[in-house]
A and B are shown apart, each in its own frame.
Chain A
Amino acid sequence: EAGVVQSPRYKIIEKKQPVAFWCNPISGHNTLYWYLQNLGQGPELLIRYENEEAVDDSQLPKDRFSAERLKGVDSTLKIQPAELGDSAVYLCASSSSRQESGANVLTFGAGSRLTVL
């Protein structure tokens, strides 16, 4: 099993530039999450998808952030334009209501580290 795959692993951009992150969840996982993690802090939920529907995007700064999960499989998270404060690690995770380890246990990808200069 490939696990949750994210790309790119690292991205350095100048402020006001756009950036996009991609995530491919574990096969069969219908729930997909995008989290933001600042250094020394816990993950903060940006958006959660159930299949292709965004069911919790209350913490997503919609003026500059957007996300999509076409066909209910892989997902992209976009920031346009990026600001200095957006520098962080963007984590994607997936889960299923039917897992041997327990319902709704999250499997995280390696993350995409964004640096905005």
Chain B
Amino acid sequence: GQQVMQIPQYQHVQEGEDFTTYCNSSTTLSNIQWYKQRPGGHPVFLIQLVKSGEVKKQKRLTFQFGEAKKNSSLHITATQTTDVGTYFCAGHGDSNYQLIWGAGTKLIIKP
């Protein structure tokens, strides 16, 4: 079946360093969504990318959707303590309702 692989599983950074998480699908996606889950919280929608090669920015966050619509990345510039949490990608495959989730990347700020 369709799968979305997300790496790395964890990333430890010093505050102020950059963070990147990558998602790779086994098949072409119609769109990809990104969610953030704070510790003890629930996933919260960040953004949706639809077009091939699309790049969107939200302040220090940059989201990209690959040309083949099979991969995506989230890059955070100059991380802050408020960025701590787990970032999930989730893509719609053949069916616009079947959302395939990555396993998430946990962003940890080193003390």
**Is the pair B42, A106 in contact by a Cβ cutoff of 8 Å?**
no
- Is residue B26 within 8 Å, beta carbon to beta carbon, of the partner chain? no
Determine the distance from Cα of A111 to Cα of B39 in the docked complex, in whole angstroms.
13
**Is the pair B45, A107 in contact by a Cβ cutoff of 8 Å?**
yes
How many residues of chain B have a CB within 8 Å of chain A?
21
**Is the pair B48, A108 in contact by a Cβ cutoff of 8 Å?**
no
A residues less than 8 Å from B88 (CB atoms): 42-43
**Is the pair A41, B97 in contact by a Cβ cutoff of 8 Å?**
no
Question: A interface, by DSSP: helix, strand, loop or mixed?
Answer: loop
A107 to chain B, nearest CB (A): 7
B residues less than 8 Å from A111 (CB atoms): 42
Name B's A-contacting residues (CB within 8 A).
31, 33, 35, 41-45, 48, 50, 88, 92, 96-99, 101-104, 106
Cβ contacts A to B, 20 pairs, < 8 Å: A31-B97, A40-B106, A41-B104, A42-B88, A42-B102, A43-B101, A48-B97, A91-B43, A101-B45, A102-B33, A102-B48, A103-B96, A104-B92, A105-B45, A106-B35, A106-B43, A107-B45, A108-B42, A110-B41, A111-B42
